[in-house]
């Protein structure tokens, strides 16, 4: 998924919490944590998006 796909997911399910994983982990991956965070701010769902750091666990 790219950042546009995450926006579509949020628009489809605006009450859902979104957890983004496997970012910046593969050479062909074009979505960075920074870019995805900014996309969530720009599109009004930053409080619904969780982007754990490598090795980090989250509990929702």
If you write DSSP's letter for every residue of 1-60 in order, what string do you get?
A: --HHHHHHHHHHSTTS-EE--STT-STT----HHHHHHHHHHTT-GGGEE-PPTT-----
Parse the chain into domains and list their residue ranges.
3-50
pTM equals 0.83
CA atoms of 34 and 45, how far apart (whole Å): 15
Model confidence at 25, in pLDDT bands (50, 70, 90)?
low
pLDDT at 40 > cutoff 90: yes
Residue 59 has what pLDDT? Answer: 84
Beta strands in 1-60 (DSSP E): 18-19, 49-50
The alpha-carbon radius of gyration of the chain (Å, integer) is 11
């Amino acid at each position: 998924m790219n950042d546009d796909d995450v926006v579509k997911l949020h628009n489809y399910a605006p009450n859902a919490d979104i957890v983004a994983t496997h970012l910046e982990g593969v050479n062909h991956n074009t979505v960075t944590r920074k870019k995805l965070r900014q996309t969530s701010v720009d599109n009004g769902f930053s409080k619904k998006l969780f982007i754990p750091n490598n090795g980090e666990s989250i509990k929702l």
